[in-house]
Chains A and B, each alone.
Chain A
Amino acid sequence: MAEPTAGTSLTRAAEGLIAIVLVLLLAFIPLVASTYLIRILTGIFLFVALASAWNLIGGYAGYADFGPTAFLGIGAYTTGILMTQAHMPFPLALAAGGLCAMGAAAGIGAVLLRLRGHYFAIASLGFMLVMEQVAANLEITGGGSGMNLPVARGFTPFYYWMLTLALAAIGTGALVPRLRAGYALGAIRGNQEAAQVVGVRPLPYKVLAYVGSALFFALAGGVYAYWFTFIDPPTVFDPDFGIQAIVMVLFGGAGTVLGPAGGAIVLKSLDILLTNTSGLLHNVFFGGLICVLVLFAPRGLVELLRAGRRHLPDRRRLQRSGAG
């Protein structure tokens, strides 16, 4: 987690300008592009948001959450239930879904994040499987048959919802390292005991990162639910969301600000191409990619590119800075 490079204020201004221009461009696209392209971009924005969100817990805090989709599902179902049962307007239901997920994350995180890395990883996976079963067993969710949301008018709003989420997630990722909490997380990720002996109490900060990640997953889930109109447990608790987010972060560079977003853009585009060729090989590709990345480029391609001709990160450095 490097401090933003101390460039001159001119460079920073230039970077800011580029960002604004980019955002404006993206905002104008729905006016000129085809429906197909708009949908593709929305899908990409979804994963940019998920990847940047996962980076909070998996990258900044160094705790690999293998079940982030639990919160996507919670957000999806909360939004759906509030819209159908309580007839809430979408934005309100969405916000409620986010709050609900934050509460759940705070609760379960306070227990799970006391565990060491590998226990937490499996436990978080278990939590996702549990939430899927809970959703399948409750009446209010429609059980295994799923539920229908009200049909939305037009697709374009979803483009903007997802774009906003993606930008917010990236923004959070940019902000956190500058904050006191970000320093705490960096210390915890580096070495939890060493963090403790300089006064950092790890649990509150780990929970904070986990809750942050959960919030974005839940909001994404809510938008996803309204977008696809129909949800059922296997769809919104599909581990695939989490897997893709993890790989994208790995690929782009865990713990960096733009790495996850970059990874999401590249991999999601690749994925779309692949799915058009062969839907089945999508996961084979991701599985293979994880293996290759872990074996040869654990810090992600971004780091690899930056390193240039320097040798690949050696295992001892991984050991010293790794989570666990």
Chain B
Amino acid sequence: MGIGTQIVLQDAVNGLLLGGVYAAVAVGFSLVWGVLNVVNLAHGALVMLGAYATYWFAASGHLDPLATLPVVGYALFLFGYGLQRFVINRVIGTSFLVTFLLTFGLQLLITNLALAWWTADVRSVTTAYSGWALTVGAVVVPAVRLVGAGAAVLMAAALAAIMRWTQFGMAVQATALDREAARLMGIPVARIYARTFALAAATAGMAGGLISLSFPIFPAMGTGYTLVAFVVCVLGGLGSVAGAVVGGFLLGLAQTFASAWVGPNYNNIVAFSALILMLVVRPAGLFGRAGHFRG
């Protein structure tokens, strides 16, 4: 095949691999937004914490990021639970500005505490397989990216399965649809909220772990991922795991192609333009329906 096609294919693959990571980041954000109606501006900070936790496990214990993923996820689950139960829950149901500002403040706190403790030095995680690559035809697929994207999709699928097939998942969906009705049916809404947020935090943390395989780690990395999560949710539609995955892939592809054809420093411009376009043309996103969360 010609060089042109090769390059396009490589870009496409890169875009999909990036998109997988984006999907992993976005899925928890969508969950919290769809169920608690909270736009969690601190979501990226949770991703950052997951990345750092993974880094410390790898640096001090020489533990493989994939192996520590469940641990990181659980740690963030607990952190998220506490955060929601004792802080965010106090403002649930008030205006958007209030919850927004609160999560914004939390983001500032977490990011800058991280900056104070771990300095602004950029970290990265190297594994035994960091340099490996799969070569399919003329396309090179780095092993870490493939693993990252693959794990991300698995995580999203697991979340979808939880939503659809467990009692907890059904309680979550009921609460998302109608909080008062759910409460009247005996669903412990406050606990559902806390566990949902915790689950989202866990996915964020694990996404951070996956990110640490291929991308640099630094305290300020969170903001970019929060923006990504927001754009992906707008693109793919709120309240849908499939939407988050598709939206993630779309954004990954858009950014990669823009980077290749226009220039390397246009990722925010692309994300923002995609956001605006979607909000103007189809605010519900590709798969979305407000007030729902399903698999």
- Select B268's contact among A64, A118, A129, A289, beta carbons within 8 Å: A129
CB distance from B39 to the nearest CB of A (A): 5
With known contacts A290-B102, A318-B98, A323-B97, A295–B276 Cβ distance under 8 A: no
CB distance from B49 to the nearest CB of A (A): 15
CA A244 – CA B88 in complex, angstroms?
Answer: 22
A130 touches B279 (CB 8 A): no
- Select A318's contact among B95, B115, B273, B283, beta carbons within 8 Å: B95
- Is A152 on the interface with B (CB-CB < 8 A)? no
CA A111 – CA B106 in complex, angstroms?
Answer: 29
- Is A156 on the interface with B (CB-CB < 8 A)? no
CA A121 – CA B97 in complex, angstroms?
Answer: 9
B105 touches A287 (CB 8 A): yes
A130 touches B269 (CB 8 A): yes
CA A125 – CA B275 in complex, angstroms?
Answer: 12
- Is B9 on the interface with A (CB-CB < 8 A)? no
- Is B67 on the interface with A (CB-CB < 8 A)? no
A294 touches B272 (CB 8 A): no
A133 touches B94 (CB 8 A): no
- Select B265's contact among A119, A136, A318, A321, beta carbons within 8 Å: A136
B100 touches A118 (CB 8 A): yes
- Is B96 on the interface with A (CB-CB < 8 A)? yes
CA A291 – CA B115 in complex, angstroms?
Answer: 19
| A324: B residues at CB distance < 8 A | 95-97
CB distance from B291 to the nearest CB of A (A): 14
Q: For window 86-132 of chain B, which residues contact chain A by CB distance below 8 Å? A: 87, 90-91, 93-98, 100-102, 104-113, 115-116
B265 touches A288 (CB 8 A): no
Instruction: Select the stretch in A8-16, A192-200, A277-285 that faces chain B.
Output: A277-285
B116 touches A280 (CB 8 A): yes
| A133: B residues at CB distance < 8 A | 265-269
CA A81 – CA B71 in complex, angstroms?
Answer: 52
Q: For window 111-131 of chain A, which residues contact chain B by CB distance below 8 Å? A: 111-112, 115-119, 121-123, 125-127, 129-130
- Is B230 on the interface with A (CB-CB < 8 A)? yes
Interface string of A136-173 (1 = CB under 8 A from B): 11000000000000000000000000000000000000
CA A126 – CA B270 in complex, angstroms?
Answer: 10
- Is A243 on the interface with B (CB-CB < 8 A)? yes
- Is A187 on the interface with B (CB-CB < 8 A)? no
- Is B151 on the interface with A (CB-CB < 8 A)? no
Closest-by-CB residue of A relative to B272 is: A126
B94 touches A319 (CB 8 A): yes
Q: For window 260-286 of chain A, which residues contact chain B by CB distance below 8 Å? A: 280-281, 283-284, 286
Q: For window 195-226 of chain B, which residues contact chain A by CB distance below 8 Å? A: 223
- Is B227 on the interface with A (CB-CB < 8 A)? yes
| B98: A residues at CB distance < 8 A | 294, 298, 318, 322
Interface string of A233-274 (1 = CB under 8 A from B): 000000100010010001000000000000000000000000
B269 touches A323 (CB 8 A): no
- Is A60 on the interface with B (CB-CB < 8 A)? no
How many residues of chain B are within 8 Å of chain A by beta carbon?
44
Q: For window 280-324 of chain A, which residues contact chain B by CB distance below 8 Å? A: 280-281, 283-284, 286-291, 293-295, 298, 315, 318-319, 321-324
- Select A290's contact among B95, B105, B115, B267, beta carbons within 8 Å: B105
B96 touches A294 (CB 8 A): no
With known contacts A111-B276, A111-B280, A283-B112, A288–B100 Cβ distance under 8 A: no
- Is B271 on the interface with A (CB-CB < 8 A)? yes
With known contacts A115-B279, A137-B263, A289–B97 Cβ distance under 8 A: no
B109 touches A287 (CB 8 A): yes
Interface string of A203-239 (1 = CB under 8 A from B): 0000000000000000000000000000000000001
CB distance from B284 to the nearest CB of A (A): 12
CB distance from A233 to the nearest CB of B (A): 10
A64 touches B97 (CB 8 A): yes
CA A127 – CA B275 in complex, angstroms?
Answer: 10
B97 touches A295 (CB 8 A): no
- Is A62 on the interface with B (CB-CB < 8 A)? yes
- Is A134 on the interface with B (CB-CB < 8 A)? yes
CB distance from A289 to the nearest CB of B (A): 7
| B266: A residues at CB distance < 8 A | 133, 137
CA A130 – CA B97 in complex, angstroms?
Answer: 23
CA A121 – CA B38 in complex, angstroms?
Answer: 13
Closest-by-CB residue of A relative to B262 is: A137
B94 touches A322 (CB 8 A): yes
| B97: A residues at CB distance < 8 A | 62, 64, 117, 121, 322-324
Chain B residues packing against A (C-beta within 8 Å): 39, 87, 90-91, 93-98, 100-102, 104-113, 115-116, 223, 227, 230-231, 234, 263, 265-269, 271-273, 275-276, 279-280, 283
Chain A residues packing against B (C-beta within 8 Å): 62, 64, 66, 111-112, 115-119, 121-123, 125-127, 129-130, 132-134, 136-137, 239, 243, 246, 250, 280-281, 283-284, 286-291, 293-295, 298, 315, 318-319, 321-324
Closest 7 A/B residue pairs (Cβ): A322-B95, A287-B108, A290-B105, A324-B96, A287-B109, A283-B112, A126-B272
- Extra inter-chain contacts (9) besides given A117-B96, A294-B102, CB under 8 Å: A64-B97, A122-B275, A126-B268, A130-B273, A250-B101, A284-B112, A294-B98, A298-B94, A322-B97
